[in-house]
Amino acid sequence: MSKPFKRTLVTAALPYANGPVHIGHLAGCYLPSDIYVRYLRSKGEDVKFICGSDEHGVPITIKAKKEGITPQQVVDKYHKIMGDAFKEFGISFDVYSRTSSKVHHQTASDFFKKLYEKGSFTEQVTEQYYDEEAKQFLADRYITGECPKCGNPNAYGDQCEKCGSTLSPTELINPKSALSGNVPV
């Protein structure tokens, strides 16, 4: 019987570098992935387990504002904390990197450039909430309000942590800016 693959690549969700690893992270994707990787290795298969800190996104800037430090200081701090925690828990990554690395930037750039050249993207005009006091457009995580599905008063503009629903900022009831607390326009 021939093997269908020479090497198996396993990845797990990239955690935002804005806080320590918690049990939900471990149980949700890292432990199951690690078990699978260890199983493949025990069978003598060539497997690589790759992951890293996601250093781009609104959760980083929110944490930076809360801690009174720069976004770069946040990602440097939490990348180390998370990497150390994964090692302490025995998660067997072959590579635990960062989305700020040169190789990540080049790979992502090449990937999206190829999709663009193939005509895979659709351009569209959309509306976005704006905080007049903060003088800033608001990404989905900068908007909170009541979840239209379960009534959670602290849902984000992209999801409700209580019921797990995926949301759009315009679906929130009584939306407010996470920056100023004001009603966005």
Q: What ranges do the domains of the chain cover? A: 8-117, 130-177
CA distance 103 to 97: 10
Kindly indicate whether the domain formed by 8-117 is annotated with CATH number 3.40.50.620: yes
Q: What is the average per-residue pLDDT within 86-104?
A: 95
Other C-beta atoms lying within 10 Å of the C-beta of residue 115: 11
CATH architecture of 130-177: Single Sheet (2.20)
Q: What percentage of the chain reaches a pLDDT higher than 70? A: 97
pLDDT reported for residue 25? 86
Whether the pLDDT of residue 59 is over 90: the answer is no
Is residue 156 within 8 A of residue 146, CB to CB? The reply is no
Measured in whole angstroms, the distance separating CA 102 from the mean position of its chain's CA atoms is 19
